[in-house]
């Protein structure tokens, strides 16, 4: 499914409505600068609620800021943006003027393959093992319990990283659920070491 970008949702009417919010008269150059900044930021942003938020442009990242500083100041006085010493914040007025029905919300979902993904996540297994002094078999046992619990409670996460993070913290409170097998540790025979 081809997702819309925010740029596709911002129409000429949206731009007119945004500029009509201005508390002061803006020159054509001021308006052009505002539109160009919106274009540059939104051109490749997927139409999600998260991407509709206010955004910042850091002054150090702008080429020739000094030649545009007066225009940015005019936009600041118009209350469309806020200019500080280090950044320019573009206020989210656009959400009031675009069709939010087509905006996607980042829906969390249960991943049926998450058990296998967690079992294959070697770095997570190593962290859990070291922090909690667990063997790989014990961790695998805990992963199975964790996934069953997540399914039973219909817990959902955005991605594998969210599941792994939740699992790492979940382990601490669920150590009683793992069989108490002795960890195999390497022991040396004294004769081999010359003791």
Confidence of residue 156 (pLDDT cuts 50, 70, 90): confident
Lowest mean pLDDT among 11-20, 60-69, 143-152: 143-152
In a shared domain, residues 86 and 123: no
81 bridge partner residues: 90
Is 137 part of a structural domain of the chain?
Answer: yes
In a shared domain, residues 127 and 172: yes
Please state the three-class secondary structure of the chain as a single string.
Answer: CCCCEHHHHCCHHHHHHHHHCCCCCCCHHHHHHHHHHHHHHHCCCECECHHHCCEEEEHHHCCCHHHHHHHHHHHHHCCCEEECCCEEEECCCHHHCCCHHHCECCCCECCCCHHHHHHHCHHHHHHHHHHHCCCHHHHHHHHHHHHHHHHHCCCCECCHHHHHHHHHHHHHHCHHHCCCCCCCCCCCCHHHHCC
- Can you give the pTM of this predicted structure? 0.53
Lowest mean pLDDT among 68-82, 85-99, 157-171: 157-171
CA dihedral over 16, 18, 23, 24, signed as positive or negative: negative
pLDDT number for residue 187: 37
- Quick check: 6 and 38 in contact, CB under 8 A? no
pLDDT number for residue 83: 96
pLDDT over 90 for what percent of the chain?
Answer: 35
Using DSSP bridges, classify how beta strands 81-83 and 55-58 pair: parallel, antiparallel or unpaired. unpaired
pLDDT number for residue 183: 47
Is 87 part of a structural domain of the chain?
Answer: yes
Is 171 part of a structural domain of the chain?
Answer: yes
Confidence of residue 184 (pLDDT cuts 50, 70, 90): very low
In a shared domain, residues 74 and 136: no
Closest by CA to 128, choosing from 185, 182, 184, 178, is 178
pLDDT number for residue 37: 93
pLDDT over 70 for what percent of the chain?
Answer: 84
pLDDT number for residue 107: 52
In a shared domain, residues 118 and 96: no
Q: Is the pLDDT of residue 117 over 50?
A: yes
In a shared domain, residues 10 and 79: yes
Is 124 part of a structural domain of the chain?
Answer: yes
Domain that holds residue 60: 6-102
Q: Is the pLDDT of residue 144 over 70?
A: yes
Q: Which of 48, 77, 102 is the last residue of a domain?
A: 102
Q: Is the pLDDT of residue 179 over 70?
A: no
Confidence of residue 80 (pLDDT cuts 50, 70, 90): very high
């Amino acid at each position: 499914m081809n997702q819309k970008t925010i740029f596709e949702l911002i129409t000429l009417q949206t731009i007119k409505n945004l500029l009509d919010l201005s508390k002061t008269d803006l020159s054509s150059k001021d308006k052009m600068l505002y539109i160009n900044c919106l274009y540059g930021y939104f051109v490749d942003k997927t139409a999600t609620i998260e991407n509709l938020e206010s955004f910042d442009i850091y002054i150090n990242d702008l080429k020739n800021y000094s030649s545009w500083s007066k225009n940015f100041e005019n936009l600041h006085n118009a209350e469309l943006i806020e200019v500080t010493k280090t950044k320019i914040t573009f206020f989210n007025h656009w959400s009031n003027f675009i069709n939010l029905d087509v905006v996607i919300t980042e829906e969390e979902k249960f991943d049926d393959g998450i058990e296998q993904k967690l079992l294959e996540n070697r770095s997570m297994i190593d962290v859990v093992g070291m922090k909690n002094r667990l063997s790989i078999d014990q961790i695998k046992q805990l992963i199975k319990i964790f996934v069953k619990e997540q399914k039973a409670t219909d817990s959902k996460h955005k991605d594998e990283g969210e599941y792994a993070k939740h699992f790492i913290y979940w382990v601490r409170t669920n150590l009683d659920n793992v069989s108490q097998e002795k960890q195999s540790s390497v022991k040396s025979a004294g004769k081999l070491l010359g003791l």
